[in-house]
Amino acid sequence: MVTDADIRSLLEDVKDPEVPVLSILDLGIVRNVTVTPDGAISIVITPTYSGCPAMDVISMDIRLRLLEKGHRNIAITQQLSPAWTTDWMSAEGREKLRAFGIAPPNPKQQFCHEEMFADEAVACPRCQSHHTELISRFGSTACKAMYRCLDCHEAFDYFKCH
C-alpha cells in the first residue's frame, strides 16, 4: 500500500531545473500529495512566478520519477492561490542555496517592501558580509536579483524574497 509519505519521499529527488541543489519540497511548491486506496496519485503544485518556464519541466520530472517507480495513475495540477512565497522555502533549502553560492531569501515580513531605491541587507554567500549592494532587481531567472559584495568583491545571485 503506497502512502502519501512514500510519494513525498520520491519528490525529494525532483530538483528545480534552474537551481538544481533545491528539491521541489525545499522550494515549497508542492502544496498537496494524496493517494487514494485504489492507488490514484494526486499532486498539487504552485508556480513560483507566473511565467516561470521551469514549471512545465517540473511537472514532467515529477511524472517521470513516479513512472520510474511503477506508479501509473498520476494527476498533477497547478494551483495559484494562496500565492507562493519564499517564506515557504525550507530551512534546509536555504542552507543548500547558500552552500551553492546563491544568497537565500530574507524573511518576507521583515525585509520585503515596495519602496523605490531601497536595498535589502543581503549577506554575501561567500564571506557572509552584509556590506553588499544591488546590481539589478532582475537576474538570470525570474526568482533572482543580482548583488555584489563590497568586501570580497564577488558578484552573486540573491534568491529574492517574494
Binding site residues, another protein, CB under 8 A: 47, 49-53, 79-84, 114-117, 135-140, 142, 146, 162
- Please give the Cα distance from 115 to 105 (Å, whole number): 18
Q: 5-31 burial, b if ≥16 CB within 10 A, otherwise e?
A: eebeebbeebbbebbebbbbbbbbbbe
The nearest distance, CB 142 to another protein, in angstroms, is 6
- Shortest distance, position 98 Cβ to another protein, whole Å: 23
The amino acid sitting at 54 is A
Query: For another protein, which is the closer residue by CB, 38 or 114?
Result: 114
Closest distance of CB 17 from another protein, Å: 15
For residue 26, give the nearest of 122, 77, 111, 99 by alpha carbon: 99
What backbone torsions phi and psi does residue 32 show, to the nearest 5 degrees? -160, 140
Q: DSSP 3-state assignment of 156?
A: strand
| Residue among 131 and 137 whose Cβ is closer to another protein | 137
Nearer to another protein, 41 or 89 (CB): 89
The SS3 of residue 25 is: helix
CB of 143 to another protein, least distance (A): 10
Give the N- to C-terminal CA distance of the chain in Å, as an integer.
38
Residue number, 10 or 134, with CB nearest to another protein: 134
Least Cβ distance, residue 145 to another protein (angstroms): 9
Of the two residues 96 and 157, which places its CB atom closer to another protein in the complex?
157
